[in-house]
Chain A
Amino acid sequence: MIQFKNVSKKYDNGTHALKDINLTIEKGEFVFVVGSSGAGKSTFLKLMMREEVPSSGTIVVDDIDLTKIKKRDIPKFRRRLGIVFQDFRLIPNMTVFDNVAFAMRVIGTKEKKIGRRVPYVLSLMGLNEKARNFPQELSGGEQQRVALARALANNADIIIADEPTGNVDPQMSYEIVDLLMRLNEAGTTVIMVTHEHSLVRCFDKRVIILDKGNVVSDGGSLVREAATSHINPVSEIEHRYDVPPEEDYSAYTQGTSAQAEEFAVTGGAE
């Protein structure tokens, strides 16, 4: 469970990135976080992973109060999360394989297990052929998928993904969300930030909309919103996306749950 209570974040330069946020994300939930650029989405996630600290308020993740956590407990806390960073954060002098493996080595996984698991998560992302390449040799979309593979490597309880589909084509975007969805079905909490409302619409999940540091809407899936309401809080933003959702994503809306099971069984590091 992730709980934000009266959380505000003001950066040192005076930017008020989040204002009095109150919300709870239950264990096993799937949440989209949307909002325009600069709305505070990344800040929201950074607070959740204890990369930033709030200026006031409290954040509790699985009974750990992030404002009170001891420094030496932070690494252990972060290992519960599978994080896809907006800027990928791949280690430049490590190969794709080692970047993914690193997240597993950090938690002390045996090399033998790493040797089995890494190729598997890379194959999920269609990256097997790039295993020996270095990040700068990859396209933006490929780097993004490596970042995602790394986040999946440890079978984390919570996946926090900051625009994991920002650099890939619509089909790949759909497949990525579909994969996250299947992980979610297997019990993983997923928090995914995205710009793409068209994508969000394909999935009937909770959507938190941030605007200028405030939560302007929380709860309704955009599927329902679109169906039941004339007031679409994001209609204005949505126009900027040149991919009409129905045409690009509807074809992919059938995921196979067999794959999800396989993913969970092939197993991560416990």
Chain B
Amino acid sequence: MGNLRYLTKEGFRNLKVNKLMSVASVTVLFSCLMLIGIAFMILVNIQSFISGIEAENVIMVYADLDASDYEYMALGNELNALDNITSVEAVEKEAAYEEILAEMDENLRIYLSGLDENPLPDAYRVTVTDMSRFENVVNEIKKLDGIERVYENSSLAKQLEGIRDSVTYISLGIIILLLIVSLFIISNTIKVTMFSRRLEISIMKSVGATNSFIRWPFMVEGIIIGVIAGILATGAVWAVYEFALTSFTSVLTGLGSGVQVSFLDYALYLVAAFVGIGIFTGIFGSATSIRKYLKERKFVELED
């Protein structure tokens, strides 16, 4: 339909003509979306951090420091014989040491490589099949001989589970609050735009334009503003997130979780959600606030 093309073109032209208002709307929407995005990324990270710990259904079994190779292998066989075990993986101390060194800070590495002896014991990494019987397995292992230490995360994971729920609710609450605030600000911005253009609207009506003919360019405008703000906000959240990651990376690894959420895993969802929110607010914001200016006078017979 040629008409649709004209009305869409008109929407773009209006954006250009009302430059100041367009920039203001994009800025407002962009700011709100960025805050939402940041809150979302924080939530996602906390979630992933906690489930990362939880998912470690791994028991580290450290052999006695002075255990012989034979004793070490015997321990391996005993572990393998246990119930509810998926795998038993030998972690020889040389390999483990290398691994740790590789992950370490340069200075610390130089310091540690000065040590003659490998301070680590040989160990086995035991993976449990049924998590509900995790505790049983741990107790069984503890009964075995030749063990220096058994290390597992289950108690920490349990504590964190409670925290995770409250963190989730709080973040969701914040996101919803921000969403409401955004809608409010955006609808006000649109109202101001409409008010400043009420003359234009009334003229269009007086030459016989239908409401939808008048409304369409405004909606196109709203959609464009939404798309631009959505894309910009995604970019901004990305930048902020990458910056935060590099600044806090040491803190996060210090907390024992090497798992970092990659922004790119969520970028698509964020763009989709932001552009969606933008389009939604653009369409409904303009549709509802234009109504006031589209009203016709009603005929009511007065008694004289």
Pair A83/B302 contact, Cβ less than 8 Å: no
Pair B296/A74 contact, Cβ less than 8 Å: yes
What is the size, in residues, of chain A's interface with B at 8 Å between Cβ atoms? 38
* Measured CA separation A89–B208 after assembly (Å): 13
| A83-B207 contact, Cβ under 8 Å, with A53-B298, A56-B302, A110-B2 | yes
Pair A89/B3 contact, Cβ less than 8 Å: no
Q: What 1/0 flags go to A226-246 for Cβ under 8 Å of B?
A: 000000000000000000000
Pair A78/B17 contact, Cβ less than 8 Å: no
Interface residues of A in 42-92 (CB under 8 A from B): 49-56, 66-68, 71-72, 74-79, 81, 83, 85, 89-92
B231 contacts the other chain (CB 8 A) = no
Pair B207/A102 contact, Cβ less than 8 Å: yes
Q: What 1/0 flags go to B180-205 for Cβ under 8 Å of A?
A: 00000000000000000001101111
Interface residues of B in 264-304 (CB under 8 A from A): 296-302, 304
* Measured CA separation A106–B10 after assembly (Å): 13
Contact pick for B203, options A54, A71, A91, CB 8 Å: A91
Chain A residues whose CB sits within 8 angstroms of the CB of B299 once the complex forms: 53-54, 66-68
Chain B residues whose CB sits within 8 angstroms of the CB of A27 once the complex forms: none
Pair A49/B200 contact, Cβ less than 8 Å: no
Considering the complex, give the chain A residue whose CB is closest to the CB of B209.
A106
Q: What 1/0 flags go to A165-192 for Cβ under 8 Å of B?
A: 0000000000000000000000000000
Interface residues of A in 14-59 (CB under 8 A from B): 49-56
Chain A residues whose CB sits within 8 angstroms of the CB of B200 once the complex forms: 91-93
Chain B residues whose CB sits within 8 angstroms of the CB of A68 once the complex forms: 299
CB distance from B185 to the nearest CB of A (A): 25
B151 contacts the other chain (CB 8 A) = no
Pair B2/A103 contact, Cβ less than 8 Å: no
CB distance from B21 to the nearest CB of A (A): 11
A10 contacts the other chain (CB 8 A) = yes
CB distance from B298 to the nearest CB of A (A): 7
* Measured CA separation A106–B204 after assembly (Å): 8
Pair B206/A89 contact, Cβ less than 8 Å: yes
Pair A93/B17 contact, Cβ less than 8 Å: yes
Pair A106/B302 contact, Cβ less than 8 Å: no
B6 contacts the other chain (CB 8 A) = yes
CB distance from B257 to the nearest CB of A (A): 56
* Measured CA separation A53–B62 after assembly (Å): 92
B153 contacts the other chain (CB 8 A) = no
Considering the complex, give the chain A residue whose CB is closest to the CB of B1.
A108
* Measured CA separation A72–B199 after assembly (Å): 20
> Could you list which residues of chain B lie within 8 angstroms of chain A, going by C-beta atoms?
2-3, 6, 14, 17-18, 199-200, 202-211, 213, 296-302, 304
Q: Can you offer 13 A-B residue contacts whose CB atoms are under 8 A?
A: A10-B302, A53-B297, A53-B298, A75-B205, A75-B210, A78-B206, A83-B206, A89-B203, A93-B14, A103-B207, A105-B6, A106-B208, A106-B213
Query: Would you list the 5 A-B pairs with minimal beta carbon distance, nearest first?
Result: A78-B208, A79-B208, A53-B299, A67-B299, A75-B210
